[in-house]
Amino acid sequence: MMRLLSCMLFIGILFSCSTANKDKQLKQIDALITQLDSLSNVYEVNRFDSLNYWRQEASNIELAIKNNYYATKVEPVLSRKMNRFKSLQEIIDAESELGGEGEYEEEEKEMTLGLRMMLLNRGFKKEKIALGNLKSDMESNAIDDSEITGFIEQESLNVTRLNNALTQYLFVKNTELKEYIRLCNDLRLFADSIQRKN
Domain ranges in the chain are 26-197
Average pLDDT, the chain: 84
Separation between Cα atoms, residue 151 and residue 97, nearest integer Å: 32
Q: Which of 160, 85, 156, 169 is nearest to 121 (CA)?
A: 169
Centre a 10 Å sphere on the Cβ of residue 37 and count the other Cβ atoms it contains.
13
- For residue 149, pLDDT over 90 is answered with yes
- For residue 194, pLDDT over 70 is answered with yes
Stretch 54-60: mean pLDDT: 90
pLDDT digits (tens, 9 = 90+) for 110-125: 688 989 999 999 999 9
**pTM, to two decimals:** 0.78
What percent of the chain has pLDDT above 90? 56
- For residue 165, pLDDT over 80 is answered with yes
User: pLDDT at position 138, please?
Assistant: 92
pLDDT-based confidence at 101, cuts 50/70/90? Answer: very low
- For residue 105, pLDDT over 80 is answered with no
pLDDT-based confidence at 72, cuts 50/70/90? Answer: confident
User: pLDDT at position 116, please?
Assistant: 92
User: pLDDT at position 106, please?
Assistant: 45
- For residue 14, pLDDT over 80 is answered with no
Separation between Cα atoms, residue 123 and residue 178, nearest integer Å: 25
User: pLDDT at position 6, please?
Assistant: 53
